[in-house]
Structure 1
Amino acid sequence: MDLGDWSRILLARVRRQFPVLAAATLVAVLALAGGVTPLFVAASWFLILLSLLLGAAEKAEAEPVATVEPIPVEVDPLPAITAAFGALDWPVILLSADATVLFQNRSAEKAFGQVPEGVHLSARLRSPGILDMVRETIATGQPTQIEHSERLPSERVYILRIAPVDLGATEGFGSPQRLFALAFRDISELRNIDRMRSDFVANASHELRTPLASLRGFIETLQGPAKGDVKAHDRFLGIMLEQANRMSRLVDDLLSLSRLELKAHIAPDQTVDLVPVINHVRDALLPLAQELGVDVKLHLPEAKAEVLGDRDELVQVFENLIENACKYGQEGKQVDVYVRAEPASAVEVSVVDYGPGIPAEHVPRITERFYRVSVADSRSKKGTGLGLAIVKHILTRHRARLIVKSELGKGTDFTVRF
Structure 2
Amino acid sequence: MEDRQVETVSTRALARLRQNGWLAGASCAAIIAVSVAGQVSGYVAAFACLAVLAVAAMAPGRETEAAVQPVRLVPEANPLEPLSAVHLAAAVADPLVVFDAYGAVVHANDAARRAFDGMRAGLSLPLRFRAPEMQSVIEGALAGDGTVLSVDYSERLPVERSYHVTASPVGHDTGLYVLVFRDQSEARRIDRMRADFIANASHELRTPLASISGFIETILGPARNDPKAQANFLGIMQEQTGRMSRLIDDLLSLSRLEMKPYLRPGQTVDVKETLEAVISSLTPLMADTGMALEREFGEGSFLVSGDRDELFQVLQNLLENACKYGRSGGRVVVQLEKAVSGGVHEVVATIRDFGPGIPQEHIPRITERFYRVDVETSRTQKGTGLGLSIVKHILTRHGGRLTIRSEVGKGSSFAVHLPIA
What letter corresponds to residue 394 of structure 1 in structure 2?
A: I
Equivalent residue, structure 2, for 1:240: 237
SS in structure 1 at match of 2:350: strand
SS in structure 2 at match of 1:5: helix
**Residues 1:313 and 2:316 are matched in the alignment:** no
Task: Output the CA distance in 2 between the equivalents of 1:253 and 1:347.
Answer: 26
Equivalent residue, structure 1, for 2:61: 62
Equivalent residue, structure 2, for 1:390: 390
Report the CA distance between 1:392 and its aligned residue.
Answer: 1.8
Once the two structures are superposed, the pairs formed by residues 342-361 of structure 1 within 5 Å of their partners are 342=339, 345-361=345-361
Equivalent residue, structure 2, for 1:331: 328
Counterpart contact for 2:268–2:306, Cα < 8 Å: yes
**Residues 1:379 and 2:379 are matched in the alignment:** yes
Equivalent residue, structure 2, for 1:304: 301
Task: Output the CA distance in 1 between the equivalents of 2:56 and 2:365.
Answer: 102
Q: Pick one of 287, 291, 295 that aligns with 2:288.
A: 291
TM-score by length of 1: 0.56
What letter corresponds to residue 410 of structure 2 in structure 1?
A: K
Bigger mean CA deviation after superposition, 57-66 or 353-362: 57-66
Counterpart contact for 1:196–1:258, Cα < 8 Å: no
Counterpart contact for 1:295–1:333, Cα < 8 Å: yes
Q: Pick one of 206, 209, 216 that aligns with 1:219.
A: 216
SS in structure 2 at match of 1:361: helix
Aligned-residue Cα RMSD (Å) equals: 4.7
Report the CA distance between 1:215 and its aligned residue.
Answer: 1.3
Task: Output the CA distance in 1 between the equivalents of 2:301 and 2:110.
Answer: 41
Report the CA distance between 1:60 and its aligned residue.
Answer: 6.2
- Report sequence identity in percent: 51
Counterpart contact for 2:20–2:61, Cα < 8 Å: no
Counterpart contact for 2:366–2:388, Cα < 8 Å: yes
Give the gaps of 5 or more residues in structure 1: 11-52, 79-95, 102-120, 133-144, 148-158, 160-187
Q: How many residues align?
A: 289
TM-score by length of 2: 0.56
**Residues 1:403 and 2:400 are matched in the alignment:** no
Equivalent residue, structure 2, for 1:5: 22
Question: Is the radius of gyration larger for structure 1 or structure 2?
Answer: 1
1:8–1:325 Cα change, 3 Å: closer
What letter corresponds to residue 414 of structure 2 in structure 1?
A: F
Task: Output the CA distance in 2 between the equivalents of 1:290 and 1:73.
Answer: 89
Task: Output the CA distance in 1 between the equivalents of 2:310 and 2:113.
Answer: 34
SS in structure 1 at match of 2:269: strand
What letter corresponds to residue 348 of structure 1 in structure 2?
A: V
Report the CA distance between 1:3 and its aligned residue.
Answer: 11
Task: Output the CA distance in 2 between the equivalents of 1:394 and 1:234.
Answer: 41
Give the gaps of 5 or more residues in structure 2: 1-17, 28-51, 80-86, 93-108, 120-149, 153-163, 165-185
SS in structure 1 at match of 2:413: strand
Equivalent residue, structure 1, for 2:106: none
What letter corresponds to residue 294 of structure 1 in structure 2?
A: M
Bigger mean CA deviation after superposition, 255-264 or 342-351: 342-351
Cα displacement string for residues 357-399 of structure 1 (whole angstroms, at most 9, x for unaligned residues): 1222322222222222222211111111111121122223233
Equivalent residue, structure 2, for 1:258: 255
Counterpart contact for 1:9–1:59, Cα < 8 Å: no
**Residues 1:363 and 2:380 are matched in the alignment:** no
Report the CA distance between 1:58 and its aligned residue.
Answer: 10
**Residues 1:229 and 2:226 are matched in the alignment:** yes
Report the CA distance between 1:280 and its aligned residue.
Answer: 1.7
Counterpart contact for 1:189–1:262, Cα < 8 Å: no
Task: Output the CA distance in 2 between the equivalents of 1:295 and 1:309.
Answer: 29
1:216–1:360 Cα change, 3 Å: same
Once the two structures are superposed, the pairs formed by residues 189-208 of structure 1 within 5 Å of their partners are 198-208=195-205
Counterpart contact for 1:405–1:414, Cα < 8 Å: yes
Report the CA distance between 1:302 and its aligned residue.
Answer: 2.2
Report the CA distance between 1:190 and its aligned residue.
Answer: 12
Report the CA distance between 1:206 and its aligned residue.
Answer: 1.3
SS in structure 2 at match of 1:412: strand
